[in-house]
């Protein structure tokens, strides 16, 4: 493992002007960085919830941007920052939020550490994806290229066309953001595949025996993360019962992968806020079987789901 200076993290903090009782530590997705939570953070701050995010090693403002760091390092970094936030806010409720790849990392973290100083887990379009198992033949050339050309940068422009959000203004700004990684290396691509493969096993274990109150928010128009690996887990009889007790899942038919930054992102963040403050929901149409049917029967948008 590479030596990391834990004092060098770059943070994005959004705090309410008045007193607050809840703090969210948010973990960003692949190639993204802490600023990805600016929009939902500003909304939450107006509702007396503070949000803090930091740039994972290899991303954002870090000097090692573009390098790949494994799941073990990311877990170590989250643990460091979680303890730091709890020490700074000893009397406040702390929630851990992970988006996309950050959701996969978060699931591994909460599965491996069962007594964390947190009051809940929030997973936003989590990268629950056993890529190598479900795409074995596609994984072979990637692994080969990562070995012989590890630092070769890859651009998907003109090859892979996906829509990550309906917020075109935000996407345009992101396309010009130098802190976002637009051309990852083969080493990085293989790294995120390995990370998701490992996290998928943790996810299965955690879903069978969740230790924390957990919210999962799933956008059905997700073209970045396929839905079938999640469906496989949800159909496991050993997992189903946990979704009426410890785990709550919300499904959004018109939302894209960057769900909190979509045009209707504030509506999704409002649901997130209500869950944090334990506001009651109308659960008349949200039984587990109904939710599973929505996830399973809705139109698929990811090419590997088709």
> At a CB cut-off of 8 Å and minimum separation 6, what does 228 contact?
134, 300, 304, 305
pLDDT tens-digit profile, the chain (306 residues):
444 555 579 999 999 999 999 999 999 999 999 999 999 999 999 999 999 999 999 999 999 999 999 999 999 999 999 999 999 999 999 999 999 999 999 999 999 999 999 999 999 999 999 999 998 998 999 999 999 999 999 987 655 689 999 999 999 999 999 999 999 999 999 999 999 999 999 999 999 999 999 999 999 999 999 999 999 999 998 888 788 778 999 999 999 999 999 999 999 999 999 999 988 655 545 788 899 999 999 998 888 876
CB proximity list for 131: less than 8 A, separation 6 or greater: 139, 193, 196, 197
The whole-number pLDDT of residue 155 equals 84
pTM: 0.95
Q: Pick from 289, 273, 181: which is nearest to 281 by CA?
A: 273
Q: Is residue 268 within 8 Å of residue 217, measured between CB atoms?
A: yes
| Helices within 168-281 (DSSP H only) | 168-175, 186-208, 228-234, 237-240, 265-276
- Give the closest residue to 217 by CA, choosing from 123, 108, 103: 123
Burial class (CB in 10 A: 0-12, 13-18, 19+), 10: middle
Candidates 208, 28, 49; CA nearest to 103 is 28
Q: Which CATH number is 11-297 given? A: 3.40.50.1820
């Amino acid at each position: 493992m590479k030596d990391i200076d834990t004092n060098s993290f770059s943070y994005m903090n959004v705090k309410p002007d008045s007193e607050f009782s809840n703090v969210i530590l948010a973990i960003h997705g692949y190639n993204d960085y802490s600023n990805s939570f600016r929009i939902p953070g500003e909304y939450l701050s107006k509702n007396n919830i503070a949000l803090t995010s930091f740039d994972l090693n290899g991303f954002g403002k870090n000097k090692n941007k573009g390098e790949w760091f494994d799941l073990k390092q990311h877990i170590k970094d989250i643990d460091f920052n979680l303890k730091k936030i709890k020490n700074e806010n000893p009397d406040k409720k702390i929630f851990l939020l992970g988006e996309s790849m950050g959701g996969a990392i978060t699931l591994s973290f909460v599965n491996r550490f069962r007594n964390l100083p947190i009051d809940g887990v929030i997973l936003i379009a989590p990268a629950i994806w056993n890529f190598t198992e479900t795409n074995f033949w596609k994984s072979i050339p990637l692994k080969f290229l990562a070995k012989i050309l590890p630092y070769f940068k890859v651009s998907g422009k003109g090859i892979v066309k996906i829509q990550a959000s309906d917020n075109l203004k935000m996407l345009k700004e992101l396309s010009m953001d130098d802190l976002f990684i637009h051309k990852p290396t083969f080493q990085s691509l293989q790294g995120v595949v390995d990370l998701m493969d490992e996290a998928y096993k943790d996810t299965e274990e955690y879903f069978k025996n969740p230790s924390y109150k957990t919210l999962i928010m799933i956008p059905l128009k997700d073209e970045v993360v396929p839905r079938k690996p999640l469906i496989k887990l949800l159909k496991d009889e050993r997992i189903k019962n946990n979704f009426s007790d410890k785990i709550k899942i919300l499904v959004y038919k018109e939302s894209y992968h960057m769900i909190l930054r979509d045009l209707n992102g504030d509506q999704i963040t409002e649901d997130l806020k209500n869950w944090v403050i334990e506001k009651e929901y109308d659960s008349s149409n949200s039984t587990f079987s109904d939710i599973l049917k929505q996830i399973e029967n809705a139109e698929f948008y990811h090419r590997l789901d088709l």
